[in-house]
Amino acid sequence: MKKYYQPEIETMPVEELQALQSERLVKQVQFVYDNVKFYHEKMDEAGIKPEDIKGIEDLHKLPFITKDDLRDQYPYGLLAVPLEDCVRIQSTSGTTGRRVVAFYTQEDIDLWDECCARAIVAAGGTKEDVCHVCYGYGLFTGGPGLNGGSHKVGCLTLPMSSGNTERQLQFMTDLGSTILCCTPSYAANLGEAVNERGLKDKIKLKAGIFGAEPWTEEMRHNIEESLGIKAYDIYGLTEISGPGVSFECEEQAGMHIQEDHFIAEIIDPNTGEVLPEGEVGELVFTCITKKAFPLLRYRTRDLCRLTREKCSCGRTHVRMMKPKGRSDDMMIVKGVNVWPSQIETVLLNQGYQANYQIVVDRVGNNDTIEVQVELTPEMAENPTMTVAEREKKIVAGLKSMLGIKVDVKVVEPKTITRSEGKAVRVVDKRHLY
Ligand code: ADP
Ligand code: ZN
């Protein structure tokens, strides 16, 4: 079937794509070396000259750049063009430490819009769609990114921003939104609101493009059911541009990385060594087309694996499997590695919704971990088990998933704060001491 809009570059044979990457990388390294003092010094220190980079096979020679480097260089240290050539900034949410500010030229914005447009098309979007964007607008990249992509596809764009669920539902029903763009946690929240108000037959949504935070397959399934849509994953980060660095196609089996703009590597987070395809490690990106803020070998701290296996959609770009979170999302509790996504899987498999919170604390020298999860309204109305029985069952499920005893508290519906943007799943009180 002919796609509504799909640049040939997305289906280019891999060898050609890699030749293009090599050509762009060589130019970019020279550009960055000439224009960013920080890189110039870092490459000199490492004894690398721009001419040493002849293609993607030499990428591993370049030094990494980390979030700490970005913080040290705040605000202008990594700018590669005169400030007067920049037209926009965006910023990370900066929950820990200094915010990171990224700069964009008009060309950088255009390429970002292009990536988001490709994501919308991959989710089945055409100019006939009504694209309801309730990612936050402002410094956060979610809203502006999908907004730009939606314009580019030619959809009618509803720049809703996040929050005010009543208004979201009103516009969604009155204007017949067909594509929903927001965080998966807000999508779950909207799904709940739609069903509570009996609006499922009144909405026209067919697809959702959800990202900016980790979410499990179980959560995808719940959202698809509650809104009657197909839910697609989208990934990105402010440092590299924003959402659209990679996105899912109709296969919903990993996100295609936009390799004409970004080169991805997977490294061993401890040694920095590049790992072979298929191994799980830290994702590293090199921007080969961006001008204002072109990071080379940026360590994302996101852990995932890549695959070049052929995808039935025809896209040749490498796929990244759902990241299970950042290396810093992993908690060490009672000496064991715990990922919030593992807990989510256990809860959703036992029929709960993604309304849960994890509280980690320390009593004396011992870690404590408690998971609070809401009863669904059906569970509260037609109890088939007592709360004590439910808690016991979850404790057993978590024990077999994590290998440790987790305290579980099943709470009444609507006790846990709903998220409008990125959900805060973990409260780690140990950091307060
Ligand atoms: P902040 O660092 O303030 O959260 P961003 O808004 O740029 O800044 O967030 C980017 C991060 O969000 C990524 O590095 C990744 O950890 C997470 N993220 C984005 N999209 C996804 C996704 N689809 N799945 C999992 N994690 C994601
Ligand atoms: Zn595909």
Domain end residue (candidates: 326, 344, 362): 326
Domain end residue (candidates: 266, 298, 326): 326
Task: Looking at the structure, tell me whether residues 304 and 351 fall in a common domain.
Answer: no
CATH assignment of the domain containing 352: 3.30.300.30
Task: Looking at the structure, tell me whether residues 316 and 336 fall in a common domain.
Answer: no
Task: Looking at the structure, tell me whether residues 126 and 175 fall in a common domain.
Answer: yes
Q: Is the CB of 326 under 6 A from ligand 1?
A: yes
**Cα dihedral across residues 165, 166, 167, 170: positive or negative:** positive
Task: Looking at the structure, tell me whether residues 48 and 194 fall in a common domain.
Answer: yes
Q: Is the CB of 211 under 6 A from ligand 1?
A: yes
Q: Is the CB of 93 under 6 A from ligand 1?
A: yes
Q: Is the CB of 241 under 6 A from ligand 1?
A: no
The one-letter amino acid code at 279 reads: E
Q: Is the CB of 145 under 6 A from ligand 1?
A: no
**Cα dihedral across residues 189, 193, 196, 202: positive or negative:** negative
Nearest atom of ligand 1 to the alpha carbon of 323:
25
Nearest to 181 by CA among 131, 139, 252, 237: 131
The one-letter amino acid code at 26 reads: V
Distance CA 248, CA 234 (A): 6
Nearest atom of ligand 1 to the alpha carbon of 234:
23
Nearest to 274 by CA among 291, 286, 258: 286
The one-letter amino acid code at 294 reads: P
Residue 235 CA, ligand 1 centroid: distance in Å: 7
Residue 305 CA, ligand 2 centroid: distance in Å: 16
Residue 390 CA, ligand 1 centroid: distance in Å: 33
Q: Is the CB of 91 under 6 A from ligand 1?
A: no
The one-letter amino acid code at 68 reads: D
Distance CA 201, CA 228 (A): 9
Give the three-class secondary structure for 359: strand
Q: Which tokens go with 398?
A: 């978590």
Nearest atom of ligand 1 to the alpha carbon of 322:
24
CB of 163 closer than 8 Å to CB of 192: no
Task: Looking at the structure, tell me whether residues 335 and 307 fall in a common domain.
Answer: no
Nearest atom of ligand 1 to the alpha carbon of 141:
6
Residue 225 CA, ligand 2 centroid: distance in Å: 23
Domain end residue (candidates: 326, 361, 384): 326
Among protein residues, the one with the nearest Cα to ligand 1's atom 2 is 92
Nearest atom of ligand 1 to the alpha carbon of 233:
23
Distance CA 70, CA 74 (A): 6
Q: Is the CB of 92 under 6 A from ligand 1?
A: yes
CATH assignment of the domain containing 7: 3.40.50.12780
**For the segment 281-310, what is each residue's pLDDT rounded down to a tens digit?**
999 999 999 999 999 999 999 999 999 999
Residues in Cβ contact with 280 at an 8 Å cutoff, skipping those fewer than 6 apart:
266, 303, 304, 305
For residue 95, the model assigns a pLDDT of 56
Q: Is the CB of 144 under 6 A from ligand 1?
A: no
Residues in Cβ contact with 171 at an 8 Å cutoff, skipping those fewer than 6 apart:
132, 158, 160, 177
Task: Looking at the structure, tell me whether residues 197 and 317 fall in a common domain.
Answer: yes
For residue 325, the model assigns a pLDDT of 75
Task: Looking at the structure, tell me whether residues 366 and 410 fall in a common domain.
Answer: yes
Residue 213 CA, ligand 1 centroid: distance in Å: 5
Task: Looking at the structure, tell me whether residues 130 and 234 fall in a common domain.
Answer: yes
Domain encompassing residue 279: 1-326
Residue 258 CA, ligand 2 centroid: distance in Å: 12
Q: What is the pLDDT along the chain (433 residues), one digit of tens a residue?
A: 345 566 899 999 999 999 999 999 999 999 999 999 999 999 999 999 999 999 999 999 999 999 999 999 999 999 999 999 999 999 987 655 678 899 999 999 999 999 999 999 999 999 999 999 999 999 999 999 999 999 999 999 999 999 999 999 999 999 999 999 999 999 999 999 999 999 999 999 999 999 999 999 999 999 999 999 999 999 999 999 999 999 999 999 999 999 999 999 999 999 999 999 999 999 999 999 999 999 999 999 999 999 999 999 999 999 999 997 787 788 999 989 999 999 999 999 999 999 999 999 999 989 999 999 999 999 999 999 999 999 999 999 999 999 999 999 999 999 999 999 999 999 999 876 6
Q: At what angle do helices 217-227 and 340-349 cross, to 10 degrees?
A: 50
Give the three-class secondary structure for 263: strand
Measure the CA angle with vertex 409, ends 408 and 414; round to 5°: 135
The one-letter amino acid code at 387 reads: V
In which element (H, E) is residue 42 found? Answer: helix 37-45
In which element (H, E) is residue 247 found? Answer: strand 242-248
Distance of CA 313 to the CA centre of its chain: 21
Task: Looking at the structure, tell me whether residues 210 and 250 fall in a common domain.
Answer: yes
**For the segment 231-288, what is each residue's pLDDT rounded down to a tens digit?**
999 999 999 999 999 999 999 999 999 999 999 999 999 999 999 999 999 999 999 9
Q: Is the CB of 300 under 6 A from ligand 1?
A: yes
User: Would you call 33 exposed, middle or buried from its count of C-beta atoms within 10 A (0-12, 13-18, 19+)?
Assistant: buried
How would you classify residue 94: left for phi > 0, otherwise alpha for psi between -120 and 50, otherwise beta? left
For the chain, the distance separating the N- and C-terminal CA atoms, rounded to the nearest angstrom, is: 59
Nearest atom of ligand 1 to the alpha carbon of 142:
6
- Cα dist from 228 to 17, 193, 201, 213, whole Å: 37, 13, 9, 22
Nearest to 298 by CA among 75, 86, 107, 70: 70
Q: How many domains does the chain have?
A: 2
Q: Is the CB of 149 under 6 A from ligand 1?
A: no
Give the closest ligand to the alpha carbon of residue 423.
1
Peptide bond into 75 cis (omega under 30): yes
Task: Looking at the structure, tell me whether residues 316 and 335 fall in a common domain.
Answer: no
Nearest to 137 by CA among 159, 111, 115: 159
Q: At what angle do helices 184-196 and 165-174 cross, to 10 degrees?
A: 70
Characterize the bridge pairing of strands 179-182 and 207-211. Answer: parallel
Give the closest ligand to the alpha carbon of residue 309.
2
Task: Looking at the structure, tell me whether residues 193 and 296 fall in a common domain.
Answer: yes
Among protein residues, the one with the nearest Cα to ligand 1's atom 25 is 214
- Cα dist from 102 to 137, 251, 386, whole Å: 15, 32, 51
Give the three-class secondary structure for 150: helix
Predicted TM-score (pTM) of this structure: 0.94
Nearest atom of ligand 1 to the alpha carbon of 239:
7
Task: Looking at the structure, tell me whether residues 380 and 294 fall in a common domain.
Answer: no
In which element (H, E) is residue 283 found? Answer: strand 281-287
